Amino acid sequence: MIKIPLNKPTLLGREFQLIRDAIRRGQLSGDGYYSNRCADFLQKYLKGLHVLMTSSCTHALELAYLAAGLEPGDEVILPSFTFPSTANAFVLRGGVPRFVDIRRDTLNMDETLLSGARTRRTRAISPVHYAGVPCEMGAILAFAKSHRLCVVEDAAQALGASYRGQPAGSFGDFSAFSFHETKSCICGEGGCLAVRDPQSLERAEIIRQKGTNRQKFFRGEVDKYSWVDVGSSYLMSDLQAAYLYVQLQGLAGILRRRRQLYKRYAEAFRSDEDQGRLQLPVIPPHVEPGYHLFFIILPSEKERERIQEGLRRRGILSVIHYFPLHLSRMGRRFGYRPGDFPVTEELAPRLLRLPLYNAMTGPVQRRVITALKVLLSASARS
């Protein structure tokens, strides 16, 4: 029986009021009053990049590859250590994943491996800011620029994070964020796409609106709208945007709370790290994370299983994260094999993600810390 979950959606309070207001305003579909407020907020946050609200981060990533005109056989470089959506977004378009291994410290894409992964079919790079810790964007952007590659940031976990003072998600040609209920700022299912250049933006607006120039019609730039390109429906409902707007307004407080919980975990387990019982996450000095999640790395897969089971017996949920994509059924279909990415394969089975959510109270976190410490010292005795 699980008493402490990994995550819990947290209500800030005004969500009901703003959803009621959205209903009163009478436009429940996409690009209504609250969608525009959210987009404006995010646009300011991302230093002026244009932002389109979407139904999910997965859809934002799909939209990015559609707008970029990715063609069958085009290759995209990405880490194997990520969520399937990072890959599906272009595999759906006939794109081919070129996985790379991760860095031991941040578990982010190892930027020194980019040049070995590039072929003449490479079109894009998709850095994933794991746990809200930004990738080495300086090196990644320089590489992309010198080979004219499109950069699609998977910033699903990186709201609030920055790299050398610039927000994660403000570096790529496209950047996708998630507001899924498991993320820091939420609205159930939701996301957004930030777009750099005006032509891609125009195309993305059309694709997101079922392949029509309805957006131009709404702005009064054309007198009727029609089918002008391929497209789908990737809009966020204004009811969800109303919920999200409350959360975005509370972003600073949400980040403060998550940072506090994160630091408390890190401090509590520092002595266990010194004794070699686990490894704590590494935050490079030039980045500020979004504190999306907290994980520990145990000395072996067996030890991780023992700790996870011990926590489960005490009613605490912890999970492993991620099953490497190159070892999955889909990954193998693309010709990948065990042994291809040693760091990913070594670390993924040893990683355990601990409960962390905005409404987690001090006493609840202390229960997790105490339970884990008892389990860790049991291993030291055996």
Ligand X SMILES: *Cc1c(COP(=O)(O)O)cnc(C)c1O
List interacting residues with ligand X (CB under 6 A).
Answer: 56-58, 82-83, 85-86, 128, 154, 156-157, 178, 180, 191
Q: Are strands 162-163 and 166-167 parallel, antiparallel or unpaired?
A: antiparallel
Rounded distance between C-alpha atoms, residue 219 and residue 205, angstroms? 12
Distance CA 139, CA 110 (A): 10
Q: How far is CA 354 from CA 191, 223, 318, in A?
A: 24, 54, 5
What's the min distance (Å) between Cβ of 302 and ligand X?
A: 27
Cβ distance to ligand X smaller for residue 255 or 376: 255
Nearer to ligand X, 68 or 307 (CB): 68
Cα–Cα distance measured from residue 8 to residue 182, given in angstroms and rounded to the nearest whole number: 7
**Least gap, CB of 159 to ligand X (angstroms):** 11
Q: How far is the CB of 187 from ligand X (least distance, A)?
A: 10
- Comparing CB distances to ligand X, the nearer of 82 and 175 is 82
Q: Kindly tell me which of 110 and 154 has the beta carbon lying closer to ligand X.
A: 154
Q: Among candidates 48, 97, 53, which has minimal Cα distance to 77?
A: 97
Beta carbon of residue 181, minimum distance to ligand X (angstroms, whole number): 9
Which strand (E) or helix (H) includes residue 325? Answer: none
Q: How far is the CB of 155 from ligand X (least distance, A)?
A: 8
The nearest distance, CB 292 to ligand X, in angstroms, is 8
Which whole-number Å values give the CA distances from 319 to 6, 23, 70, 268, 348, in the listed order?
Answer: 8, 38, 34, 20, 11
Residue 212 or 240 with smaller CB distance to ligand X: 240
- The residues pairing with 166 across neighbouring beta strands, listed in sequence order, are 163
Instruction: Compare residues 110 and 272 and give the one whose CB is closer to ligand X.
Output: 110
